[in-house]
Structures are given as C-alpha cells and as structure tokens.
A and B are shown apart, each in its own frame.
Chain A
Amino acid sequence: MSKETSRRDFLGYSFAAVAAVGGVASLVGMKQAWDPLPSVLAAGFTTIDLASIGLEPGKPQVHTWRGKPIFVLEKTADMEKFDGDLVIGDKRYTIAIGLCTHLGCIPAWKKDMWKCACHGGEFNANGQQTFGPPPKPLVIPPFKVEGTVLTLGEDGAESKAMMAARA
C-alpha cells in the first residue's frame, strides 16, 4: 500500500466516523420530533363520578379519556358476576377502553354485548371476547377510586385487580 493511498484511507475513515456520529444523532432527533408532545402527554386525566352521571343498569355510557372512548356499564342483577368487576357498595361495574382489541374500532352495545362492526368481534358484559378476531378482552384503563369517583390516568388497586382478573 502506498503512502498516498493510506493517507486517503485515513481521510475516508475519519469522514465515515464523523458522518456516522452525525447520522445517528440526527436519527435520534428525528425520532423524538415524532414523539407525542408534552402537552398531549400532560392532558391525560379524566374524572367520572359514577353516582352523578345518571347511569342505568344494563345501559352502558361512553366517556372520553385521552381521546379514547371509555365504556361504563352498571351490571343488572341477571348479569354474570365476574371476579374482574369493579364492586362499589352493592353495585357491580364494567369499566373498559371502548376500542376493539383487534384493530381499534368502537364496538356498539347490542342488548347484552358489545359488537364490533369492523371485523365482527363480540365482547360480553364483562368485556371478554366471545367471537371473532379480537385476541383479548377489552383493555382496562388505569384509574383510582375515591368513593364513587374514578380518576382515569392514575394507577389504582381496583384497576390493577380488574386487569389481573382478565389476564
């Protein structure tokens, strides 16, 4: 190898090193530019007072948290009792993110179950999948319970227990 060539090689390698460092740094920056903004992350808490929203047994309501629908169902006496129910006093509730676990459409309540129009998935009153492509039950949002007030977005023992019962 001549002196000339090895000098040129050195220049080539040093440029490759500079370019590699710059390239990786740019990729990190570009990745972060696409991350959810701090304001989006911060606006992530919603409260629901189960006693004051006019909930009727067997008729679920849809609330909003982080731009997603939240199903709130007070179970009727005939509905199956489930370990994963949220129990407050003598009432049993199903609280779940109202997005089909298949591809995220909103299932609609039909008599006694949620039915998804997109790909035909079905969920029972516990939010468990009973038919079609959904791979798992409706997801339980993290929430904290104080009396009858739920704070969505904050971790609490009840929501963890509900998740564990469905795992």
Chain B
Amino acid sequence: MAKINESLFTAEGFDKRMNAKGFWRVMMTEYWIPKDINFLWAMGVVLATTFGILVISGIFLMMYYKPDTALAFDSVNYTIMQEVAYGWLFRHMHGVAASVIFLIIYIHMFTGIYYGSYKKGREMIWISGMLLFVTFSAAGFSGYMLPWGQMSYWAAAVITNLFAGGSLEAWGLVEWIRGGFAVNDATLTRFFMLHVFLLPLVIIKLIVVHFYTLRIPHVNNQESDDIDYDAEAEKYLAGNKKESKVIPFWPVFLSKDFAVLGLFLIFYFYLVFFNYNFAMDPVNFDPANPMVTPAHIYPEWYFLWSYETLRGPFFDMFGMKAGDIGLMIFGLAQIIFVVFPFLDKDPDILPAHKRPRFMIWFWIMIVDLLVLSVYGKLPPTGANAWVGFYATALFLLLWVSLPFITKADAKARGAL
C-alpha cells in the first residue's frame, strides 16, 4: 500500500496519499449534530471566529507595537493610532473583540449550564471549556498591560500583588513575577511574550482539545434527548432526512451557524466603528505613572463580578483579616465553575425548565453576577460596600446550595 502510481497532482492521487475525502467525511459531512437546537448552539463557531479576528488584528498591531516602557505608550497611541494605515481599525477591532469574546463566552457557558450540557459524559467538554475561560482571562489581563497607560500599570500592580497571598506575604513571588520591586520594564516585556506567544499557543491547543471532547458524547440538545447517533445517522444517510433526529455538521449545521455569525459580525463591526469607546477606558490614555494612582481602579467589565468578590468582605470576620477572606473568595470564584458537574447531584440530564428549583437557582445566579458586576465598578463606600458584601455572601450560598437543590429536583421527579 506504500506504492501509489497515480500522480500527486491528480485528485485521485492526492486523495490516495492523504485520505482527504475520508478526513472530510469524518470531521464534517458525517459528524452528527442534533436537529433540536437553537441559535445558542452557534456560539462555538462565533467564538472561534472572534478568536480568529483577535489573532489577525493582533498580528498587525504587533508589527508596530514596542514592548518597552519608554516606547510602548507612544507606539500605540501615536504610531498605531495616527500613522499606520488603518492602525486605529486594528486596535479597535482587537480591543472590541477582546471585550465581546467574553460576552459570548459567558453566553456559551450559561447555555451549557441551562441545558445541563456539562454532566454525565460531557464533563470533559465543560472542564476544557473552563480551562479556555481561564486562559482567555490571562490573555485579556496580559494584553491590557501592553498600551502602558495608567489602568495598564495599576491593574498590573494590583493583580500581581494578589500573588503575595494576603497575610502569607509572599513578596518574593510577586517580585519574581514582576522581575523587579515594582511593575517595570521587565514585567511589560514578559507579559508581552505571554500575550502574543505562549497564551495564544495554549489557547489554540485547548480549542483543539475542546472540539475533540465533543466527539464521543456529542452536542446536547434543547430537551436533552438521549439520541442513538448510529441509528439516526443511518436514517439520514438512507435519505430519511425528515425522520432523522440529526443533521451533518457540514453543510447543514454550519449554514445556520453562518447565519447567526453574520448577525454577530454586524453587531461586532457596529461596535468597532461606532461604539468602540466602551473598550477604551479614558484613564488608560494617560501614560503609566507609578507615583499616581487613578481616582479609582476597576477592571474591564468581564472581570468585575470576581473583582467584587475580592472586596466584598470589607471587615474582619471569623478571626481572619478582611483582605484574606476576600482573596480566598476571589480565588474560589476563579475555579468554582470548573467543579459544576460534580456539584450537580441530579442523575438526569435535563434543561433548567424541567428542573424547577434549579431554574430558580440559575436565574438568581445570573442576577447575582450582574449585581456583583455593577457594584464592582462603583466606589466601595457606604451602602455600596454592603451591597457588595451581601452579593458576595449570596454567591457563596448559591454554590453551597447547588448539591441540595439539584438533589431536591431529582427527588421530586422520582429519580432518586
């Protein structure tokens, strides 16, 4: 079988060497997707496309950006914004895509939570997705440092300080991460490396893993119907397309995805051209100054909810310092979603509208995350501090109650 006589430069010869048709069939035309889905199932392709936009706009930005504290601010705000042809466009595309990708990630995540697409066979999809979320967060943070404005500097100072671990006082670790006593040139250059090379590399690998994790358990559907894919695929291939519960990934599923993608891209480019300011904090148009802290420091909108859990507990409790409690809750908030499949004690895969108590839990969680996000941006004084405190307490309470609530639903249904 090693010897192939047909020329490489014929369709048949190429296919004999590469099995291109077989590969296409397995990956595309005979990769089966349930029919019973809605536009929320298009978010994966929307995310992959947005990541593509980030890579391409990032490549163009990198050609003029200078990762040096003396040059970085001007290379962005003068060279790229004013001199490079369409430099402003690439910057706004990059900044807006970085912001919007988190909106889609959150929609994608909560779609999975709503329909129970994280459990009983789909745990690896969930876990690899959460790893992507964490890596994207790191990429967002490292990228935010690069324009070297006031918010860049102070976000870097505050976030690297977190690694001291509060009362653990691990300043050696903080200085190691920064490569100096304070955030400095070495910090900027190493975060540039993380942002343009290491983290994108990890993200690309994780995306491949994330796609692969779907292969065996398949995509969930609106009613969490347990589909016999072999039988349904046979029906489809035999021509009974109407009766079959499945459709091929290409061209049927993707055609609908592309329609949703089209709408998304119109929304995205509307933001890029007419409303980019939400992703361009005015404070970050002041050059970094280690001697002046901006009046208040807040992260980009997508980190606000977890930031608020950091400052929610503002007084000492249980013999612990307020700052340490906040840091512990903040640390927990970063990772708690990963263990979602193991906190859900319901043995059935069902959408939230068939789990009445979980449905309530789901919407309270969303409202709580919105409240945390809103108060994460407000100054932490007076009544604001108390709203933050109670919203943080509710966040913890929701996680503690999740196993009991899911169990109660299963019992009421008679499944336990």
Interface positions, chain B 24-48, Cβ under 8 Å from A, are none
Supposing A40-B186, A120-B380 touch, asked if A105 and B181 sit within 8 A by C-beta, the answer is no
**Residue ID in chain A nearest B291 by CB atoms:** A69
Is there contact, CB below 8 Å, between A132 and B291? no
Task: Give bound CA distance, A135 to B323, whole Å.
Answer: 6
A34 contacts partner chain B, Cβ-Cβ < 8 Å = yes
Query: Would you give the shortest CB distance from A115 to chain B, in whole angstroms?
Result: 10
- Asked if A36 and B175 make an inter-chain contact with CB atoms under 8 angstroms apart, the answer reads yes
| A117 and B291 within 8 A (CB) | no
Q: At the interface, yes or no: A68 with Cβ under 8 Å from chain B?
A: yes
Q: Are A66 and B181 touching (Cβ within 8 A)?
A: yes
A67: nearest residue on chain B (CB-CB)?
A: B182
B387 at the interface (CB under 8 A from A): no
Residues of A within 8 A of B176 (CB): 31, 34-36
Given contacts A106-B292, A133-B322, contact A40 B181 (CB under 8 A): yes
Residues of B near A36 (CB, < 8 A) are: 175-176, 178-181, 186
Kindly supply a per-residue 1/0 record for chain A positions 82-104, scoring 1 wherever the CB is within 8 Å of any chain B CB and 0 otherwise.
Answer: 00000000000000000000111
Contacts of B324 in A (CB 8 A): 135
Q: B317-336: contact bitstring with A at CB < 8 Å (1 yes, 0 no)?
A: 00001111010000000000
Contacts of A108 in B (CB 8 A): 293
A40 and B323 contacting across the interface, CB-CB below 8 Å: no
Q: Return B416 CB to nearest CB of chain A, in Å.
A: 43
In the bound complex, do residue A103 and residue B162 qualify as a contact, i.e. CB atoms below 8 Å apart?
yes
Q: Are B296 and A67 closer than 8 Å at their CB atoms?
A: no
Whether A64 is near chain B, meaning CB under 8 Å from some CB there, is: yes
Q: Which residue on B lies nearest to A36, using beta carbons?
A: B180
Q: A44 is contacted by which of B178, B181, B322 (Cβ under 8 Å)?
A: B181
Q: Mark A15-47, 1 if CB is under 8 A from B, else 0.
A: 000000000000000010011110010001000
A133/B311 in contact, CB under 8 A: yes
Q: Once bound together, how far apart are the Cα atoms of A1 and B182, in whole Å? A: 59
Whether the Cβ atoms of B323 and A102 lie closer than 8 Å is yes
**Alpha-carbon distance A135/B357, docked complex (angstroms):** 40
Q: Is B5 an interface residue (CB 8 A)?
A: no
Q: Could you tell me the distance between the alpha carbons of A66 and B161 in the complex, rounded to whole angstroms?
A: 16
Q: Answer yes or no: B158 CB below 8 A from chain A CBs.
A: yes
**C-beta contact mask, B160-176 vs A, less than 8 Å → 1, else 0?**
01100011000000011
Contact present for B297 and A67 (CB under 8 Å):
no
In the assembled complex, B14 has its CB within 8 A of some CB on chain A: no
B352 within 8 A of A: no
In the bound complex, residues from chain A placing their C-beta under 8 Å from that of B177 are 34
Q: How far is the CA of A106 from the CA of B291 in the complex (A)?
A: 8
* Residue in A35, A117, A132 whose beta carbon sits within 8 Å of that of B293 in the complex: A117
Cα separation A68 to B314 with both chains bound (whole Å): 25
Nearest residue (CB) in B for A106 is B293
Q: Do B293 and A34 touch across chains, with their CB atoms under 8 A apart?
A: no
The reply on B222 being an interface residue by CB < 8 A is no
Contact call B293/A118, Cβ cutoff below 8 A: yes
With A44-B181, A135-B323 in contact, is A64–B162 under 8 Å at CB?
no
Name the residue in B183, B190, B322, B385 with the highest tally of chain A Cβ atoms < 10 Å from its Cβ. Answer: B322
Q: Does B262 contact A (CB under 8 A)?
A: no
* B379 at the A interface (CB under 8 A): yes
Query: Would you call A120 and B161 a contact (CB within 8 A)?
Result: no
CB < 8 Å: which of B167, B186, B295 contacts A135? B167
| Bound CA span A106–B178, Å | 18
Q: Is the CB of B379 within 8 A of A133?
A: no
The answer to whether A137 has its CB under 8 Å from any CB of chain B is no
Q: Are A133 and B323 in contact (CB-based, < 8 A)? A: yes
Q: Using CB atoms, name the residue of chain B closest to A104.
A: B161
A134 within 8 Å of B by Cβ? yes
**Distance in Å: Cβ of A58 to nearest Cβ of chain B:** 21
With known contacts A104-B158, A119-B380, A34–B179 Cβ distance under 8 A: yes
Distance in angstroms between the alpha carbons of A135 and B161 in the assembled complex: 14
B121 within 8 A of A: no
Q: Contact: A40 with B184, CB < 8 Å?
A: yes
Instruction: List 15 additional A-B contacts (Cβ < 8 Å) besides A37-B180, A64-B290, A120-B385.
Output: A34-B179, A34-B190, A35-B179, A40-B179, A67-B290, A106-B291, A106-B292, A117-B295, A117-B297, A117-B379, A118-B293, A120-B314, A132-B322, A133-B326, A134-B323
User: Lowest 4 A-B CB distances belong to which pairs?
Assistant: A67-B182, A135-B321, A66-B181, A106-B293
List chain A positions with a Cβ less than 8 A from chain B: 31, 34-37, 40, 44, 62, 64, 66-69, 102-108, 116-120, 132-135
For this complex, 16 residue pairs linking A to B, each with C-beta atoms less than 8 Å apart, are A37-B180, A40-B179, A40-B186, A67-B181, A67-B182, A68-B181, A69-B290, A102-B323, A105-B158, A108-B293, A117-B379, A118-B296, A120-B385, A133-B322, A135-B321, A135-B322
